[in-house]
Structure 1
Amino acid sequence: MTIESNLYKKSIKILSDLIGFQTISGQDNSELINYCEKILNSLNIETFKVFDEDKKRVNLFGTLKAKKTNGKKPIILSGHTDVVPVSKGWSSDPFTATIKDNKLYGRGSCDMKGFIACTLAYAEIFKQSNLDRDIHFCYTFDEETACIGAPLLIKELKKRNIKDGICIIGEPTNMKIIDGHKGMNEYTIHFGGLAGHSSKPHKGVNAIEYASRYINKLLQIRQELIKRAPKDCIFDPPHSTLSIGGISGGIAHNVIADKCKVEWETRPFNKADADFVTSEMDKFVNEELLPNMKKVFPNSFIRKEIIGEVIGFEKLNESEACEFVTSITGDNSREVVSFGTEAGLFQEIGISTVVCGPGSIEQAHKIDEFIELNEIKKCLKFLDGVKEKSILN
């Protein structure tokens, strides 16, 4: 059996194992991280962990040191371990890998445990190679919920003076280069009013009604964002977006609702639009909504909970990371996307970053999520190229 065949089978085995860990965003991912760490440590790859406050969600960072440095920047192979929740309607168990028609089905197979599996399988090849640059393995938690985990890890990287290198984030791009995307800001707004009998609405403060007014303002601002779009905007849609994700509140038809919450997000293509949305909504709350609520009930409140504010991934004319990937794949094309990644966080601390990984984003977050097996092979071939660019001549 050839090395390539063994490596491919090993990747499929690891991916199947990874899918078996139900690492839905917000839940404990420590078992998966321990699994990954065991593989890396078995190769004497040094690792450290960065936990959340509850010590249940954790990032993992491993370093395979070069046998002799040759002035080359280290490579960071980065992926997130969390997956989105599962909806009803799957044709197979979403947490059991199923292979059919040259596709591997399972939650996270595409987004993005396929890439993580390839890097773990290839770690042994890197270990056996005469490396002249460090190879880092970076696995984060809760990317799907406003990139909560990665900032904690990056803070630790800065402490350890790991602020240079080439970062390859293996989000599903069909192994195409992505060099830009919008930011992603997520908020939950909590409204507190005064309950009462619905027959006397003037004596209460209906949190749902004020939440509705808040949403109407968001929809007005969404139209303003469309008007603010520059003529040369490179994204689709070619403007910053705003979306309402959920609203909940109230206990009965005949009770004035004293609690309500609204969940929403904006994906700004630049900081100016992000600041515009924030300032307009804060002004509306502080000058109109809250004063009217407090006239009836002084203890009324509107509280903004920041779920995450993730900066965008800035498209640069010159990118060492993009050039590195191109030198391996031979593909000079570059694209931008509207979905978010952790790329901007690495870019912000001076690490040249590119998004490039196996699978198609069209399969992400869907019922019967899958990755084509050929994409695994393409990713392994790409890692072969990374190795060839990282060994002593």
Structure 2
Amino acid sequence: MSNAFALLEKLIAFPTVSRDGNIDLIRWVQELLSQAGIRSRLLPSESGDRANLFATVGPEGPGGVVLSGHTDVVPVDGQSWTSDAFCLQERDGLFYGRGTADMKGFVACAIEAVLGAVRKPLHIPLHLALSYDEEIGCVGVRPMLEDLAKAGLKPDWVLIGEPTSMSVATGHKGKLAARATCCGHTVHSALAPTGLNALHMAADFLSEIRALQEETQEKGVRDQAFDIPYTTLHAGILKGGTALNIVPDSCVLDFEIRNVAEEDAQSFLEQLLEKATHQERRLKERFPDARIRIDVLNTYPGLETRADSPQVSKARALSGSNAPLKVAFGTEGGLFQQHLGVSVVVCGPGSMDQGHKADEFIARDQMERCRQMLARLVETHIE
């Protein structure tokens, strides 16, 4: 089973939703590689239900490229699919299934390329890196990168196959996700003015987030390569209250900061911390138990690769891409760059416009373009 389309069918059949793990898929890939004589190793999580995989074809040593992809997918809960999300179906040249675009289409092509490369006289290494839990904040790849950095891995570059419609991308924003927990004072709603409503506290803090967003949009650093050229702040979850006749004493607000490279997400967080502290001090004058606690849930760095670098030029030549772009979504690229100190390029089949939706799909011609790109890449590794 070396054909990318057959591989994709098998990969989609593994329901590797982040919450459930990917270990069955990873073990299957390792066995497939082993049958072809390709050395690989698993880096399992502490829970044992998920793992990273790292494999190498060709000689040991520096140089070469890492083909990188994540194997987890987002849930299908609440989505109206017209076919089984975990059973690949082709209709009119489109392959439907959860993860086809994001990003098992590329993973299938990468496995095919590695399997084909084992029979060729490579003079530099070709690596395959498959990760878990990318969809919940690029969490799973980190221990693998720490391990590779300690081992002294020094590839020339890393190709991350997130869906870009086969365009070459050189950057994306960083992200910081945080939670504001507001603690008030509960009373009967008939006596509401004598209590401290935690929902109102969260609403006031949310107003500070929105004000900072407006200021950033007007005066912040701009990078016109992005669809949204400035740093964004966004509140995504607000939870609090148990009954209408109770003034709630607890409320949780989850928010995020997506920063352009020239700005630091931490500086935005510090501004919000200052606002929260001021709000808390004012409330404590009347309600000593008032509190606003902010915890960082997750953070990952942005990606910034020089558009005129040799690696970008190579990726463009291999893919037939025009001028490089930057993508709105995050990837593991910034972490690869941070841990290994190498150039990272994002280029893969399919579009994120189809990702995370019902009836997610990838076009056959996109898969073919990716297969051709990786075949040309392998040829550059031959003596």
Moved more, 229-238 or 34-43: 229-238
Report the Cα distance in structure 1 between the residues aligned to 2:250 and 2:277, rounded to whole angstroms: 18
Confirm or deny that 1:63 pairs with 2:56. Answer: yes
Q: Aligned-residue CA RMSD in angstroms?
A: 2.1
Confirm or deny that 1:206 pairs with 2:197. Answer: yes
8 Å contact from structure 2 (residues 67, 110) kept in 1: yes
Change (3 A) 1:189 1:73: same
Report the Cα distance in structure 1 between the residues aligned to 2:222 and 2:157, rounded to whole angstroms: 32
Change (3 A) 1:89 1:130: same
Q: For 1:352-391, list aligned pairs within 5 A.
A: 352-391=343-382
Q: For 1:334-349, list aligned pairs within 5 A.
A: 334-348=324-338, 349=340
Confirm or deny that 1:308 pairs with 2:298. Answer: yes
Change (3 A) 1:43 1:296: farther
Moved over 6 A (4+): none
Q: Aligned-pair distance for 1:21? A: 1.7
Report the Cα distance in structure 2 between the residues aligned to 1:163 and 1:130, rounded to whole angstroms: 20
Change (3 A) 1:273 1:228: farther
Q: Which residue of 2 aligns with 1:3?
A: none
Q: Aligned-pair distance for 1:26? A: 3.2
Q: Which residue of 1 aligns with 2:251?
A: 260
Report the Cα distance in structure 1 between the residues aligned to 2:287 and 2:12, rounded to whole angstroms: 51
Report the Cα distance in structure 2 between the residues aligned to 1:58 and 1:64, rounded to whole angstroms: 20
Confirm or deny that 1:102 pairs with 2:127. Answer: no
Q: Aligned-pair distance for 1:83? A: 1.4
Confirm or deny that 1:194 pairs with 2:185. Answer: yes
TM-score by length of 1: 0.90
8 Å contact from structure 1 (residues 164, 350) kept in 2: no
The structure 2 residue matched to 1:326, chosen from 316, 327, 332, is 316
> The residue matched to 2:189 in structure 1 has which SS?
coil
> The residue matched to 1:94 in structure 2 has which SS?
coil
Identity across matched positions, percent: 33
Moved more, 355-364 or 268-277: 268-277
The structure 2 residue matched to 1:227, chosen from 218, 235, 244, is 218
Deviations 1:207-259 (A, max 9, x none): 21111111111110110110233466322212111211111111100112122
Moved more, 316-325 or 147-156: 316-325
The structure 2 residue matched to 1:22, chosen from 15, 28, 49, is 15
Which segments of 5 or more consecutive residues in structure 1 lack a partner in the other structure?
1-5
Q: For 1:282-301, list aligned pairs within 5 A.
A: 282-288=273-279, 290-301=280-291
Deviations 1:247-283 (A, max 9, x none): 1111100112122211211211035352331121110
Report the Cα distance in structure 2 between the residues aligned to 1:379 and 1:217, rounded to whole angstroms: 45
Deviations 1:295-332 (A, max 9, x none): 45544443333222111111414323212212323435
Report the Cα distance in structure 1 between the residues aligned to 2:118 and 2:215, rounded to whole angstroms: 53
Change (3 A) 1:97 1:58: same
> The residue matched to 1:363 in structure 2 has which SS?
coil
> The residue matched to 2:73 in structure 1 has which SS?
coil
8 Å contact from structure 1 (residues 118, 379) kept in 2: yes
Confirm or deny that 1:74 pairs with 2:64. Answer: yes
Confirm or deny that 1:244 pairs with 2:232. Answer: no
Change (3 A) 1:387 1:226: same
Q: Aligned-pair distance for 1:48? A: 2.6
Q: Which residue of 1 aligns with 2:137?
A: 146
Confirm or deny that 1:161 pairs with 2:132. Answer: no
> What letter is aligned with 1:329?
S
Number of residue equivalences: 381
8 Å contact from structure 1 (residues 358, 378) kept in 2: yes
Report the Cα distance in structure 2 between the residues aligned to 1:110 and 1:168, rounded to whole angstroms: 16
Q: Which residue of 2 aligns with 1:279?
A: 270
Q: For 1:30-49, list aligned pairs within 5 A.
A: 30-49=23-42
Which segments of 5 or more consecutive residues in structure 2 lack a partner in the other structure?
none
> The residue matched to 1:48 in structure 2 has which SS?
strand
Q: Which residue of 2 aligns with 1:118?
A: 109
8 Å contact from structure 1 (residues 164, 351) kept in 2: yes
Report the Cα distance in structure 2 between the residues aligned to 1:25 and 1:214, rounded to whole angstroms: 31
> The residue matched to 1:93 in structure 2 has which SS?
coil
> The residue matched to 2:303 in structure 1 has which SS?
coil
The structure 2 residue matched to 1:11, chosen from 4, 9, 32, is 4
Q: Aligned-pair distance for 1:293? A: 4.5
Deviations 1:178-228 (A, max 9, x none): 111111222222223333311223443322111111111111011011023
8 Å contact from structure 2 (residues 319, 369) kept in 1: no
